[in-house]
Amino acid sequence: MTVRRLNHAVLYVRDVATSVAFYERALGFEVITQMPNAAFLRASGSTNDHDLGLFAIGAQAGPSGAGTSTVGLYHLAWEVETLAQLRDLRETLTSMGALVGETDHSTTKSLYAHDPDGLEFEVCWIVPADRLDDAIRDGTMELRELDLDAELARFGADTVGGLGVSWPARSTS
């Protein structure tokens, strides 16, 4: 058996309505089903029945201690198709006060943000496999602060990203 990809994520949140409004505005998700204490959302262009599930546990819920005092999930990463979309998301996340970081991972160009409950997520554009440079292929890549303007000039605003493919295909022979 081989896992093919992540199909959806489910988060515990304080308030479903607040989280739904955030993910609709921030990432353009659409509500598929909503109940008083749960909602299922789909990303634009997705063929999944849902990409994100939200379950309310109430306002009394404390903040996540993952990574500081408890084990737990660090973040989810959502892919965008073009650097223009990543640029637009940076503007949206900044205007919402949600953007907390930007990183160039060589294979991906990434934004990091917090949702209303402080849960971190990443939005990334994946460098197409045929556009990877030698440092990436050699495994000597390094993390850098993202210079989105330079990446837009280098790759073009409308170049379609690798969408799940950040390494050249492996030979099966």
Q: Please give the domain boundaries of the chain with CATH numbers for all domains.
A: 8-58 (3.10.180.10), 74-168 (3.10.180)
Question: In degrees rounded to 5, what are phi and psi of residue 158?
Answer: -110, 10
Kindly give, in sequence order, each residue whose CB lies less than 8 Å from that of residue 81, ignoring residues fewer than 6 positions away: 125, 160, 161, 163
pLDDT of residue 140: 65
Token pair listed for 158: 């409308």
pLDDT of residue 119: 95
pLDDT value at 131 more than 80: yes
pLDDT in tens, 23-69: 999 999 999 999 999 999 999 989 999 999 999 999 999 999 999 99
Q: By percentage, how much of the chain surpasses pLDDT 70?
A: 90
